[in-house]
Amino acid sequence: MTQLLEEYHPSREQAVNACANLYFFIASFFEDDEEGGFPYEVNIMEKLGRFGTLEQILKWIRWFEASISAILDRRRDSRTDKIAEMVRDYVMTHYKERITLGQTAEALGISQGYLSTAFKKQTGESFTGFVSAVKIEKAKELIAGHQYMMYEISDMLGFDTPFYFSKVFKKIAGLSPKEYEAECFKAGHEV
């Protein structure tokens, strides 16, 4: 908007009206603003009417743009935090299933791309990496309990095959499930 005003040099009254229209249009998107960040003015027309020059009006527009940008940045960051938390909750609830990015995004009502980007930005790890880490931690608990065969644990945690389970386990834990089981058995007998 500043570019238009600078280029066409409208009258002071036209510039004030354009600012007021911009203000009321944007304010309509913040009517249910629970965070209280929107710069509400009791009488915006009176405030804008006090500006005597186009430069003062342009200065106000730049301030208003910066204020709205800051609010939107805070909301985006807050939403990213909430998405990461929702993903964690979803994975912890469904870790026994085969979890995909698409399935999780659909369950949470957001796009796959946004979920992936927001989760990575907030946590520093990929969605797939997080799911695998959760499943392997659960696998470690099951292995340490010495109640199930490896193929049963693989199946219980939603892995397609025991081979894939073993591959993911070794990648995350640094040793195979059988090696981990041997360490757990050895540690249990040393106590």
pLDDT tens digits for range 10-34: 888 888 888 889 888 888 877 766 6
What is the CATH number that goes with domain 129-190?
A: 1.10.10.60
Dist CA 148 CA 151 (whole Å)? 8
Q: Residue 191: is its pLDDT beyond 50?
A: no
Q: Give residue 80's pLDDT band: very low, low, confident or very high (50, 70, 90).
A: low
Model confidence at 189, in pLDDT bands (50, 70, 90)? Answer: low
95 has pLDDT over 90: yes
Contacts of 135 by beta carbon, 8 Å cutoff, 6+ apart: 95, 157, 158, 159, 168
DSSP one-letter code for 186: H
Q: How confident is the model at residue 77 (pLDDT cuts 50, 70, 90)?
A: low
Domain segments of the chain as ranges: 2-76, 129-190
Average pLDDT over the chain, rounded to an integer: 87
**Residue 172's pLDDT is what?**
95
Residue 36: pLDDT over 70: no
Global model pTM greater than 0.75:
no
**CA neighbor of 12 nearest in space, from 43, 46, 55, 47:** 55
